[in-house]
Structure 1
């Protein structure tokens, strides 16, 4: 949902039209009436229009003269940290540089030694109580060498000028300030315009640009009371130009060269109907890059919550030449370059030393957290619209899913369910019986998801506004007055989630006696960039003040994280720590994966946005936000039947699957496009539900290791350079490769299969590694199972995931060239936190030497379930078996029926997943 109109009897968005709002209405007319075909770029800054970005981008290589005093008396060290003194000879300003060690990770922090005012350091993004690790420290003639482990990771700190080289397995993988473009704008007193520069004063003080102390854009003025305080540094990757990350952008998976364009921008903004192939800021900001080569992989996290721009250099010719050089083996222009520029804060940078992609993913997860195992229903299919009109409308839609035999697990309500856009209330004319309505839905195992945004309607008598005013819970302006902006309710104020008492208050509102609902109601946090219709760039002014006396400029990209943290705590308290929360967020930052799923925002109904959903979710997945999806059919405009079908087929193989649409679009429930399309959509959704056990197992592994369920091919095949630029197909775990059909009228697709055996997951046709041109019809979803994998499924498709929870499994066993395969199967109660206390069962399943066996990894688990294996499908056997026998505690030793010669289908082996078993194929 974004800034588009709803015509009501009381005016735009239900606001009462008053004279002082006329200017506002005119200024956002294009947005409100959804009459713009493209993004109104005049609303959003370019680097040239951003004072600090313009100053920092003008810095030339070799500018930085920062020196480290390497004398032993000026360096202090402990087992896990070394502290250096740094000076900028141009004026003599002093800094402190810390290098801290974690497991396979170096952290580099740089701050002023004695800042005029405190500088903000990001809170809440990292896991609490991080454990450091010891490192060895040695002094050389021109550097200090810091080593983690047995030469596994090395940081070499040079003094004149400051430079840090990072080595993984003796290969130089990253360089900090190698091009000497470090620039740290120290805090200073605002000079009098008549003052003459003092002798010896640094050049930063001598050059005074108007944007340093006040800056205007789009009719808004930023007072900048602290003056210039930006930071910037170059970080380069000597081994590779294959750089990934920096979500969220509607752009290619592999980062493109920005030499002749704006830098990549990270500044959480409400950008509706966003453009494709663009590095403009969107809803989320994760300042994280992975540099990958066949030789080594390294990750870099620039931990800063202020507006950030990143210049990327990958090739003189940009992405295309980079890929040509890569595939062709050319060493020319091999180095990947980045330069990070933030408006305020400190330099706080993590180097994840790998050396493999899986190592980097694991190291990142150990510091920022992983996605907790979601409830099973949340990885099913979701149905949403802005808005379902009333209870009858919602319950009719629910009933029609049953009528048309299409499974789904939750139905969603957008802002119109509230009483006049007042959150934690119900419109009692449209939704007079909310608890009874929810119980009607949950009787089929389904859930309701309601939207709760951070802007609060300024209306006398509204309990939340009254509480926030009386208890001092709102964000303030620079003069200490409650900030007032405009959003869906009209005049609104914004809760200051940085204040612990605000988070505690917000969490308390989810109690069932305060918000009439049930434990089967879950939450959608939208507009939390925060979106402010009349604010600069449709967000909050930077000089607003938050708890702790921090300006909004310091913490902007964290606001959404603080919002969902508060919601998560509320859902935890509501169920007395029993049920796993589900939250969907639009705004996100580092660490948001610990609390919420994410979707790609206000996309539109065209083929380009369908294609973009794949690289966008892949980029988010490798950056921690693994529970990702995009609005099926596009939020804006009206998709035709072909686009809707192909979008369902694509979304069925992404982690989060939701149909959602704008209030002014035509209704698009899956049965509204004719019988044939309805049948094909049903088939796609049923394929999703059959694979829920596999998805669930992958999400369990995701929590443990950080490895996302949806993966770019290079993450699984790190030495295959052909996979590096691929973004139109992806892996699900290590077992399935998917190439959705995303072009209008397509009759064929080209699929790249890495080396090895592959099998069409539905026809079981065998393919060798290489590029294949496949004919596709409207029912085609190219999905391939890797030889060597075992995929657990459930083939009894019911109305919801909840109703399938105790159904039996079908295992798909695909043999590799050695006749072997392996996989895992995880099961628990699908909803509670008891799995963290050992209440689950995990099976390790292997096929080797003609024997399929399953071993319970945790045999002492108290978890009990009647789930069993009712069918096994094996592809890749050289010849038809003569006999098949099963052995387990429950079945004893028994002969099994089987059919076919390719594939071999074993019927009703009857073995339980809570016990070890073995099936021998003679």
Structure 2
């Protein structure tokens, strides 16, 4: 069989001295065998919105998912199938067109066309008449493996596979598909917590293998021109998605796998987190320290000591250790009164020594052994069972624990060890053996939490942070992190790569334990500062580490505190910008961290850049990942960029950016509008009543625009309900005349300002204006910055900035500046 890599007859027969018999034997013995393995078309029919094809060895169902996405499901008699985990249950409105010829079927969706070649049977995928992707042999299945083979094109680059530290282009790699913890990783890792069976190609397609089983994804490693997916079981289906651009490709992909819902606004604030807070008093003292040191704080994370005094022996209790936490409900209530949300770690393991073991067994909550009894095995934390989240009994039992904790005041969940970290192959789950569904365990756990949260409190936004999942887990609000990274410069280096790889396949909130988690002999001030500086421009700001070196900045020396206080406050000032990124992600799937190649899709070399990235549309960030650095060479993707700290302009391919300990390279796009608000203690105090808008002027940009999105920060589906406001900004320069317009959209939301005090700050403004008019009202220039007030302007010739202040109510405004 071809899929079994048959012996090459010429080499075999030559070795045996039978070369002269080769033609005769090929015509007899081998020819029937080859005929049996050559798949050929037999018939087809259209059933509702699906094309169903009968072939000589399988039934092939092509299901349109949108005008640019198609599911292809091969089913062979006797080959067990599992449900799709990747696909969201969405109604597809696609008018597919089928045309039939003697040799092919052409199934056109709009932007994607499948050409089915009848003999030998293979499927080729076209966009605008050009081949995106083609099956090489296509589907294969034997007694131990099943999967697919596709042809790779010359020069094609492949991003994907989830969390790996291998470089951006994964072509040439053979990637194990088995979610697995990698404790203390740094600059290399081929297998980690979140292995996604999907790739994004430089040819602008995404190929997703919708199979949860243990396997491998061979991206041209074994055969240079073949991409092969193989698994020991699972669903024999894949999904092809096309797009005219990389952002559009991602939008089409999340249209199939599901959009990430917006998190609560507090998720974008500062977290206090460590392994771990041991007592209620330590929690209260930590929160008090943040207030004393003037650090904003929105959440506090409790690791496993909340349910036991030791690391080992208590997992599965999932109830407060009342000796260490005598008044947890009051504690959480007091924290909430200060605007601080409590997040609890939970794990899917129930130790046989835990207080809930007998209850879990009695409620049929645990996965089974081959004899039908609760499966028990040993791992680091003790002898344990594993909750079967694929079984209704297991999900119900687990959710009842969460529900009780939520009623006590818990605001968010941290799901740890959900690969699962230890998962014996002979573990029996409700829908299959461990190795069949291993990679979907965290996915199903997140789904259980999300769906119950939504049923229990439909108007609230859940917070669900988890370490492992499957394509599509983002639709359950999953916020992943990059696991137990080494607390070292080597641990910091791959964090951009890890977040970019995950973000391109739907997981836009992937973030790291800021400062590093594992090990570290002593406090490295420079490393710590550099990691937390980077954290301002990544999705979740959560320092977390083993406690022998404090992860919280408030417990370090004055110099460290003073530098990082300003960065944490900057994180809060940027909330209008960052919250808008969260909104965009919820609508289109665009990640918050974006690769540079989005700027120049024809430049394949940019795909390899793992050292810098776009934070949203308008920031370019290059974290400092080496010690004793005073200058960083930042690759530019084209256009003009300004240093956020100094306003220095950079053009060309490389920006040589000077840095001090208190700065990292942060550049702003020419023509960008950057909205910020005043300092706050936490996001509960958020308001845009006073709004600053920084505009970066340059002759290379004659027109530009931007917007910010706002709602109340906690209502689920606020945008769909019309409970939001969008503020639009646009600028146009024409000779000596510039005009800025300000418009609004939406019905507003509870707490929205009736009027805003707006300060427009124009950077790189070369001379004082001759006149400024807000509509028909003239805006005078004041001579001193201290005189600046509503309906006045001030030109700072030393900084080359023009500042204009004016109120913005419900009406649209136009500001005209004449030089």
TM-score (norm 1): 0.79
Q: Following the alignment from structure 1 to structure 2, what is the Cα–Cα distance between the partners of residues 60 and 655?
A: 52
In the TM superposition, what whole-angstrom CA distance separates every residue of 1:855-874 from its partner, at most 9, and x where no partner exists?
A: 21325777733462432211
SS in 2 for 1:724: helix
Are positions 1:436 and 2:397 aligned together? no
2:73 paired with 1:121: no
Which SS does the other structure have where 1:269 is aligned? coil
Deviation, 1:436, is 1.6
The alignment status of 1:98 with 2:61, answered yes or no, reads: yes
Give the aligned partner of residue 801 of structure 2: 904
- Residue from 53, 76, 92 that aligns with 1:84: 53
Aligned to 1:656, the other structure's residue is in SS state coil
Instruction: Say if 1:713 and 1:723, in contact at 8 Å, map to a contact too.
Output: yes
- The answer to whether 1:641 aligns with 2:551 is no
Q: How far did 1:243 drift?
A: 1.1
CA distance 1:855–1:60, change in 2 (3 Å)? farther
1:354 offset after TM fit, Å?
Answer: 1.0
- Residue 698 (structure 1) shift: 0.8
- Between the aligned partners of 1:555 and 1:487, the Cα distance in structure 2 is 20
* 1:520-669 equivalence runs, <5 A: 521-531=411-421, 539-548=422-431, 550-574=432-456, 576-594=457-475, 595-638=477-520, 639-663=523-547, 665-669=548-552
Please give the alpha-carbon distance, in whole angstroms, between the structure 2 residues aligned to 1:859 and 1:516.
32
User: Could you give the per-residue CA deviations for residues 472-504 of structure 1, whole angstroms, max 9, x where no partner exists?
Assistant: 121111221111123565222211111234323
Compared CA separation, residues 120 and 113, structure 1 to 2 (3 A): closer
Superimposed CA distance per residue, residues 161-200 of structure 1 (whole angstroms, 9 cap, x where no aligned partner)? 22222111122111112xx375311xxxxxxxxxxxxxxx
Q: CA RMSD in A?
A: 2.8
Q: Contact between 1:602 and 1:635, CA under 8 Å: does it hold in 2?
A: yes
Query: Contact conserved, 1:252 with 1:277, CA < 8 A, in 2?
Result: no
Q: For each residue in 1:325-361, what CA deviation from the matched residue of structure 2 results, as whole angstroms up to 9, or x when unmatched?
A: xxxxxxxxxx964211111123211111112112210
Provide Cα deviations, 1:129-151, integer angstroms capped at 9, x if missing partner.
441522221223322222122xx
Q: Which of 157, 166, 171 is residue 242 of structure 1 equivalent to?
A: 157
Give the equivalent residue in structure 2 for 1:6.
Answer: none
- Please identify, of 267-276 and 441-450, the stretch whose mean Cα deviation from structure 2 is larger: 267-276
2:763 to 869, 875, 879: 875
The residue aligned with 1:5 is none
Deviations 1:92-138 (A, max 9, x none): xx2111222232334353444422xx613233432114415222212
Deviation string 1:537-589 (CA, Å, 9 cap, x unpaired) is xx2122322124x2222211111111122222343355x22220111101111
Number of equivalenced pairs: 768
SS of 1:402's equivalent in the other structure is helix
1:62-113 deviation line (CA, Å, top 9, x unaligned): 9997545445xx12224632222223xxxxxx21112222323343534444
Counterpart position of 1:134? 95
1:246 offset after TM fit, Å?
A: 0.8
2:774 to 864, 872, 886: 886
| 2:340 maps to 1:446 | yes
Structure 1 position 60, deviation (Å) = 8.8
Report the Cα distance in structure 2 between the residues aligned to 1:610 and 1:651, rounded to whole angstroms.
11
Offset of residue 806 of structure 1: 5.0
**In the alignment, does 2:134 pair up with 1:175?**
yes
Question: SS of 2:51's equivalent?
Answer: strand
Aligned to 1:300: 207
Q: 1:171 and 1:65, CA in 2 relative to 1: closer, same or farther beyond 3 A?
A: farther
Shift of 1:456: 1.5
**Residue 134 of structure 1: SS of its match in structure 2?**
coil
**How many angstroms does 1:314 deviate by?**
8.0
More deviation, 804-813/770-779: 804-813
Listed as ranges, the matches of 1:306-385 within 5 Å are 306-313=213-220, 337-385=226-274
Matched, 1:291 2:291: no
CA distance in 2, matches of 1:819, 1:110: 50
Name the residue aligned to 2:816: 920
Contact 1:885 1:894 in 2 (8 A): no
Q: Kindly indicate whether the alpha-carbon contact (under 8 Å) linking 1:627 and 1:655 is maintained by their aligned counterparts in 2.
A: yes
In structure 1, the residue matched to 2:704 is 821
Deviations 1:301-341 (A, max 9, x none): 1110001211122899xxxxxxxxxxxxxxxxxx9642111
Report if the CA contact (8 A) 2:186-2:492 is conserved. no
Contact residue 737 and residue 785 of structure 1 kept, 8 A: yes
Aligned-pair distance for 1:234?
A: 1.9
* Residues 1:760 and 2:721 are matched in the alignment: no
Mapped to 2, the partners of 1:523 and 1:108 lie a distance apart of: 33
SS of residue matched to 2:640: strand
| Residues 739, 781 of structure 1: 8 Å contact kept | yes
The answer to whether structure 1 residue 107 and structure 2 residue 76 are counterparts is no
Query: Per the alignment, do residues 668 and 863 of structure 1 end up closer, same or farther by CA in structure 2, a change over 3 Å counting?
Result: closer
1:321 aligned partner: none
Question: Any stretches of 5+ residues in structure 2 without a counterpart?
Answer: 10-32, 309-313, 780-788
Which of 739, 742, 748 pairs up with 1:854? 742
Q: Distance in 2 between matches of 1:862 and 1:518?
A: 23
Q: Say whether 1:251 aligns with 2:212.
A: no
| C-alpha contact 2:707 2:729 (8 A) present in aligned 1 | yes
For the pair 1:801 / 2:760, whether they are aligned, the reply is no
Cα distance in 1 for residues equivalent to 2:90 and 2:608: 37
Q: 1:790 matched to which residue of 2?
A: 673
Equivalent of residue 839 in structure 1, options 715, 723, 732: 723
Give the counterpart of 1:700 among 583, 598, 614.
583
| Aligned residues of 1:59 and 1:181 also touching (Cα < 8 A) | no
Q: In the TM superposition, what whole-angstrom CA distance separates every residue of 1:632-680 from its partner, at most 9, and x where no partner exists?
A: 12111125111101100111111112111125x3324314442212211
1:156-195 equivalence runs, <5 A: 156-177=115-136, 180=137, 182-185=139-142
Q: TM-score, normalised by structure 2?
A: 0.88
- 2:20 counterpart residue number: none
Contact 2:274 2:543 in 1 (8 A): yes
Change (3 A) 1:442 1:336: farther
Residue 330 of structure 2 aligns to a residue whose secondary structure is helix
Alpha-carbon shift at residue 829 of structure 1 (Å): 0.7
For the 8 Å contact 1:755–1:770, the answer to whether it is kept is: yes
Corresponding residue number in structure 2 for 1:719: 602
Residue of structure 1 in register with 2:408 after alignment: 517
Kindly indicate whether the alpha-carbon contact (under 8 Å) linking 1:100 and 1:132 is maintained by their aligned counterparts in 2. no
